[in-house]
């Protein structure tokens, strides 16, 4: 098979742009972020997570949810009175989440959430 040099050069040039760099990072990071939100909320409540708590990042966010569903890590459920859709980790998803959490992947998010909660509870002294 012949390599198309013009095509390869074009793709390499496009990949150097900030827009493509952002897109490629988002494709990798968005599923991890959404998966963490779904699993952490499910862990706290034992209930499927409504879509309005997820804040997916545009098109990449929607694709990330479909990828997580296709991978069998989460399942899509119909919405309820406050949500169009709901998501819940599968048994396999819970196993994967626990491995990721054990490696500290979601620790930074928990620390930030705790700091935000404390600052919201502490009145400003002026």
The whole domain housing 39 covers 20-113
Query: Phi then psi for 110, rounded to 5 degrees?
Result: -65, -40
In a domain, 8, yes or no: no
Distance between CA 49 and CA 42 in Å, rounded?
6
On whether residue 6 sits in a domain, the answer given is no
Identify whether 27 is part of a domain: yes
The answer to whether residue 1 sits within a structural domain is: no
Sheet holding 83-89, edge to edge: 49-50, 83-89, 74-80
Query: Does the pLDDT of residue 107 top 90, yes or no?
Result: no
Q: What pTM did the predictor assign?
A: 0.74
Assess if residue 65 is contained within a domain.
yes
% residues pLDDT > 90 (the chain): 57
Count: domains in the chain: 1
Instruction: Confirm whether 28 is domain-assigned.
Output: yes
Res. 122: pLDDT tops 80? no
pLDDT in tens, 35-53: 999 999 999 999 999 999 9
| Cα 32 to Cα 93: distance, rounded to the nearest angstrom | 12
Q: CATH no. for residue 104?
A: 1.10.10.10
The reported pLDDT for the residue numbered 109 is: 57
Rounding to the nearest 10 degrees, give the CA dihedral for residues 72, 52, 64, 111: -90
């Amino acid at each position: 098979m012949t390599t198309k040099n013009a095509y390869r050069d074009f793709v390499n040039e496009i990949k150097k742009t900030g827009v493509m760099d952002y897109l490629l990072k988002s494709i990798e990071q968005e599923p991890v972020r959404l998966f963490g939100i779904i699993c952490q909320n499910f862990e706290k409540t034992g209930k499927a997570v409504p879509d309005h708590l997820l804040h997916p990042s545009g098109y990449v966010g929607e694709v990330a949810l479909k990828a997580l569903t296709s991978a069998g890590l989460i399942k899509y459920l119909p919405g309820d009175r406050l949500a169009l859709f709901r998501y819940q980790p599968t048994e396999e998803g819970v196993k994967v989440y626990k491995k990721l959490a054990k490696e500290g992947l979601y620790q930074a998010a928990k620390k930030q959430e705790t700091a935000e909660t404390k600052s919201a509870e502490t009145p400003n002294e002026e």
